[in-house]
């Protein structure tokens, strides 16, 4: 997959593409339906397939005071989209000047002039342009006039009628239901980050941890989770089982939200390395203990529960 952080001066062999439009935070099963539709039309046309997305997420520009909410910061979003086999990922820098561009200008300047799009695919609720002035109806009308086809992907959901959406995934994670969130995502919810030096208190009680700052990620329910942790080993990722505490660590007076991961039967050095942590099951809420002995006993119980859950 080729990555472009602009829409102008793209290689000639990308013109005439079939492109999926959206924020795609989470790259959930509904998003995948949009991307697959663009791929299908690309194959029928003998054209390249692409995803056009926006970074940072528009919500970060318009509502900067909101708590962190991202399901897939750009690095992970790009990796998930690449795994689907698209030819190109085109990233539009979403800044104040771009946000003030009209919906009509987005179509004529980006889709027509810059991309030469032959087919455009988006979800039923896709809106774009200044003050969200464009929708799928406008896109279809302008496409008919400009010579590109438009496909609107209808809501995708499960047998119970739940529509797959990023909003629903966030709700489930805040409720401590990562397994249900994974059903919508089509993959486990994952937090990735560099392992930082902590206070090393875990080593003193027999449970060393790898500490990862949460950054712009959504904060799932604070507590202890059964996890799989992916460690980069050259070109491959090695997955190890463990448990993780997500929260403030009230027993030791923690002030910073943090993800602390204890890997079973592992004593290697992870400092400075990237770690991928998949939340698989919620074990218990975060709580404050009377002292380190009580905390140690509970961590031992959590680890046993994690081993049972993960098999």
Average pLDDT over residues 5-34: 96
Average pLDDT over residues 182-192: 97
Least confident of 34-38, 197-201, 244-248: 197-201
Average pLDDT, the chain: 93
In this predicted structure, the answer to whether residue 32 has a pLDDT above a threshold of 90 is yes
In this predicted structure, the answer to whether residue 200 has a pLDDT above a threshold of 60 is no
Cα(71)–Cα(219) distance, rounded to whole angstroms?
9
The domain limits of the chain are 2-153, 167-310
In this predicted structure, the answer to whether residue 203 has a pLDDT above a threshold of 80 is no
What confidence score (pLDDT) does residue 104 get? 98
Cα(274)–Cα(240) distance, rounded to whole angstroms?
14
pLDDT in tens, 206-253: 688 899 999 999 999 999 999 999 998 878 899 999 999 999 876 555
What confidence score (pLDDT) does residue 295 get? 85
Q: Grade residue 31 by pLDDT with cuts at 50, 70 and 90.
A: very high
pLDDT in tens, 143-186: 999 999 999 999 999 988 899 999 999 999 999 999 999 999 99
In this predicted structure, the answer to whether residue 201 has a pLDDT above a threshold of 60 is no
Catalogue the active-site residues: 260
Cα(274)–Cα(255) distance, rounded to whole angstroms?
23
Q: HEC string of 247-291? A: ECCHHHCCCCCEEEEEECCCCCCCCCCEEEEEEEEEEEECCCCCC
In this predicted structure, the answer to whether residue 112 has a pLDDT above a threshold of 60 is yes
Measured between alpha carbons, how far is residue 151 from residues 127, 177, 266, 290, 302 in Å?
Answer: 14, 33, 50, 59, 48
Measured between alpha carbons, how far is residue 94 from residues 200, 237, 259 in Å?
Answer: 40, 32, 29
pLDDT in tens, 42-53: 999 999 999 999
Q: Grade residue 23 by pLDDT with cuts at 50, 70 and 90.
A: very high
In this predicted structure, the answer to whether residue 90 has a pLDDT above a threshold of 90 is yes
In this predicted structure, the answer to whether residue 24 has a pLDDT above a threshold of 60 is yes
What confidence score (pLDDT) does residue 308 get? 97
Q: Is there a contact between 33 and 125 (Cβ–Cβ < 8 Å)? A: no
Reduce the DSSP state of residue 15 to 3 states and report it. Answer: coil
pTM, rounded to two decimals:
0.91
What confidence score (pLDDT) does residue 256 get? 77
Average pLDDT over residues 8-32: 96
Q: Grade residue 269 by pLDDT with cuts at 50, 70 and 90.
A: confident
In this predicted structure, the answer to whether residue 291 has a pLDDT above a threshold of 70 is yes
Cα(139)–Cα(152) distance, rounded to whole angstroms?
10
What confidence score (pLDDT) does residue 199 get? 60
Counts for the chain of helices (H) and strands (E), in that order:
10, 12
CATH fourth-level superfamily of 167-310: Riboflavin kinase-like (2.40.30.30)
Cα(204)–Cα(297) distance, rounded to whole angstroms?
13
Q: What share of the chain is helix, strand, coil (3-state, %, to 5)?
A: 35, 30, 35
User: Which one is the CATH code of 2-153: 3.30.710.10, 3.40.50.620, 1.10.1740.10, 3.40.50.720?
Assistant: 3.40.50.620
Q: In what order do the strands lie in the sheet with 2-4?
A: 2-4, 88-93, 49-55, 18-21, 119-123, 149-153
């Amino acid at each position: 997959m080729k990555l472009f952080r602009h829409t102008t001066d793209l290689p000639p062999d990308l013109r005439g593409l079939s492109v999926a439009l959206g924020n795609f935070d989470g790259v959930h099963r509904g998003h995948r339906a949009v991307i697959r539709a663009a791929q299908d039309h690309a194959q029928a046309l003998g054209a390249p397939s692409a995803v056009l997305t926006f970074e940072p997420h528009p919500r970060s520009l318009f509502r900067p005071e909101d708590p962190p909410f991202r399901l897939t910061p750009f690095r992970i979003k790009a990796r998930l989209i690449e795994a689907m086999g698209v030819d190109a990922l085109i990233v539009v820098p979403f800044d104040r000047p771009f946000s003030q561009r009209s919906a009509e200008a987005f179509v004529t300047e980006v889709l027509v002039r810059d991309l030469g799009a032959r087919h455009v695919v988006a979800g039923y609720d896709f809106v774009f342009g200044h003050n969200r002035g464009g929708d799928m109806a406008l896109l279809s009308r302008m496409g008919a006039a400009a010579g590109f086809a438009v496909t609107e992907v209808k809501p995708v959901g499960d047998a119970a009628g739940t529509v797959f959406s990023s909003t629903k995934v966030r709700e489930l994670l805040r409720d401590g239901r990562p397994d249900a969130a994974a059903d919508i995502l089509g993959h486990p919810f994952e937090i990735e980050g560099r392992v930082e030096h902590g206070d090393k208190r875990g080593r003193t009680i027999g449970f060393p941890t790898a500490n990862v700052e949460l950054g712009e990620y959504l904060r799932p329910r604070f507590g202890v989770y059964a996890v799989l942790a992916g460690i980069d080993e050259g070109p491959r990722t090695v997955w190890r089982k463990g448990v993780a505490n997500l929260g403030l660590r009230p027993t030791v007076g923690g002030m910073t939200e943090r993800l602390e991961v204890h890997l079973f039967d592992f004593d290697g050095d992870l400092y400075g390395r990237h770690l991928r942590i998949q939340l698989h099951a919620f074990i218990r809420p975060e709580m404050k203990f009377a002292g380190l002995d009580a905390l140690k006993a509970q961590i031992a119980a959590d680890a046993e529960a994690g081993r049972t859950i993960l098999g």
